[in-house]
């Protein structure tokens, strides 16, 4: 039986604190039966371990978000490192560079990013990459590390996507691919080979059409999946089968 996977969600976010069980029930009803819960804080990661549903398989990842590097010292980094080594931690991420909000701490962002990439390589765990307004530096750094991973919520162009594919990376598309003005995103969808594609919600943000503007949740990943299947002219079940295989291959499941 085929189903959808949300390869990147934050259902451990405060946005879901009042109705998490209903959100999980809608996932099961919507046939979203696997999901990766992404944590940027140790408390969120520990909380993510408690999230479960009888019909859904949840996995977890942890990483220091580029927006949070100011707070990182040796002691905090060691706390993260200890969790990265846990079997439960299936990937290191989301990690990367974000120059959209901050440009005054680029060197620290790069250092924390590279320290985590070095650990990912040592531990042989995949990485989940966040890159915003920083794609050239992200590429330059990733090209120096022998790691596999996914470009999460990919928002750059198709030409750049090819370079990450060359590095062995997967490309994950989120809600914006369903939005009205998704030209660049659809070009990416047509460029990425099916066996290197993933989809995600990145909820609670970036809800796909027709839910745009609302709080996003994993059950909405089906809108993104259907849009891509339609765009590529493939059967829903065929896309689902490939996405399941990609997800399992990348995260070693």
Binding stretches for Ni ion (CB under 5 A): 202
| 3-class DSSP assignment, residue 235 | coil
Closest separation in Å from C-beta 225 to Ni ion: 18
Question: Helices then strands (H, E): number in the chain?
Answer: 9, 8
Q: How many angstroms separate the CA atoms of 78 and 82, rounded?
A: 6
Closest separation in Å from C-beta 69 to Ni ion: 16
Which of 39/246 has CB closer to Ni ion?
Answer: 39
Closest separation in Å from C-beta 1 to Ni ion: 28
Which of 27/150 has CB closer to Ni ion?
Answer: 150
Which of 83/241 has CB closer to Ni ion?
Answer: 83
CA atoms lying within 13 Å on the CB side of residue 99: 10
Closest separation in Å from C-beta 48 to Ni ion: 13
Which of 12/246 has CB closer to Ni ion?
Answer: 12
Please confirm whether the linkage preceding 210 is cis (ω < 30° from 0).
yes
| C-alpha separations of 153 from 136, 156, 223, 224 in Å | 16, 9, 15, 12
Q: Check if the beta carbon of residue 67 is closer than 8 Å to that of residue 97.
A: no
Which of 34/202 has CB closer to Ni ion?
Answer: 202
Closest separation in Å from C-beta 106 to Ni ion: 20
* Strand extents, DSSP E, the chain: 4-9, 32-39, 57-62, 89-98, 127-132, 149-151, 170-173, 197-199
Closest separation in Å from C-beta 58 to Ni ion: 15
Among all residues, whose Cβ is closest to Ni ion?
Answer: 202
| C-alpha separations of 237 from 186, 224, 233 in Å | 20, 14, 12
Which of 10/125 has CB closer to Ni ion?
Answer: 10
């Amino acid at each position: 039986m085929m189903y959808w996977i949300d390869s990147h969600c934050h259902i451990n976010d405060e946005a879901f604190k009042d109705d998490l069980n209903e959100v999980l029930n809608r996932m099961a009803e919507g046939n979203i039966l696997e999901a990766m819960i992404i944590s940027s804080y140790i408390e969120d990661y520990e909380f993510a371990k408690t999230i479960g549903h009888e019909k859904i398989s949840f996995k977890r990842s942890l990483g220091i978000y580029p927006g949070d590097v100011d707070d990182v010292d040796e002691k905090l980094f060691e706390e993260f490192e200890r969790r990265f080594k846990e079997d439960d931690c299936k990937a290191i991420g989301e990690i990367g560079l974000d120059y959209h909000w901050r440009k005054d701490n680029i060197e620290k962002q790069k250092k924390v990013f590279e320290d985590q990439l070095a650990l990912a390589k040592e531990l042989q765990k995949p990485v989940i990459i966040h890159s915003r307004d920083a794609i050239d530096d992200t590429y330059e750094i990733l090209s120096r590390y022998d790691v596999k991973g996914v470009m999460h919520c990919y928002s750059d162009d198709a030409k750049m996507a090819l370079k990450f594919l060359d590095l062995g990376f997967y490309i994950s598309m989120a809600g914006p691919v369903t939005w009205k003005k998704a030209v660049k995103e659809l070009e990416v969808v047509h460029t990425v080979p099916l066996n290197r594609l993933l989809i995600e919600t990145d909820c609670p943000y970036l809800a796909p059409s027709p839910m745009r503007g609302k709080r996003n949740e994993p059950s909405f990943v089906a809108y993104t999946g259907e849009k891509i299947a339609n765009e590529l002219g493939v059967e829903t079940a065929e896309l689902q089968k490939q996405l399941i295989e990609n997800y399992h291959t990348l995260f070693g499941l």
